[in-house]
Structure 1
Amino acid sequence: MFDQQKKASLAAWRKMSEQAEADLDPEQQYDELLKAADQMEEQGLITSAEWRQLIRDAGNVFTHNQEETHS
């Protein structure tokens, strides 16, 4: 059960990170990704190392989306 919940949460996080820019502006998307990572860590679904990786990934998504917005 725990592994399924973790996989489902991470899959939802990845899906959110890949949403088209039309769905959310880059700042909103970044905030939502951070909130989701925080919730997973608080629930004990991910380790602090996994949390840090998600935060780095969210930063990369934000940077990429900012570049796309300004192109």
Structure 2
Amino acid sequence: MYDDAKVQAFSDWHDLLVSSEDQMSAQEQYDELLRLADYFREKGIIDLDERQALIAVATVAYARAVGTEI
């Protein structure tokens, strides 16, 4: 079962993922998503597999935003 910190972490990460590009560029958004994934892992909120999943999702979203294929 997820604890409150994990639920909040995934919620914060998702909010950033779906935020408007008016607030930041695709590159800035991608960098921040990766930074958050690393931070959550370092703090023990998520495990390595969850971190890798977040990075994979962020990478696909970035590729779509900039019009490249991965």
**Do the structures match in fold with TM over 0.5?**
yes
The alignment status of 1:32 with 2:32, answered yes or no, reads: yes
Report deviation, 1:64: 1.5
TM-score, normalisation: structure 2: 0.89
SS for the counterpart of 1:7 is helix
Gaps of 5+ in 2: none
Q: How does 1:1-71 map to 2 (within 5 A)?
A: 3-67=3-67
% identical aligned pairs? 29
TM-score, normalisation: structure 1: 0.88
Q: Which amino acid aligns with 1:18?
A: V
Q: How many residues align?
A: 66
Contact persistence 1:21–1:65 (CA under 8 A): no
What is the CA–CA distance in structure 2 between the aligned matches of 1:8 and 1:19, rounded to whole Å? 16
Q: Which has the higher contact order (CA 8 A, sep 6+)?
A: 1
Moved over 6 A (4+): none
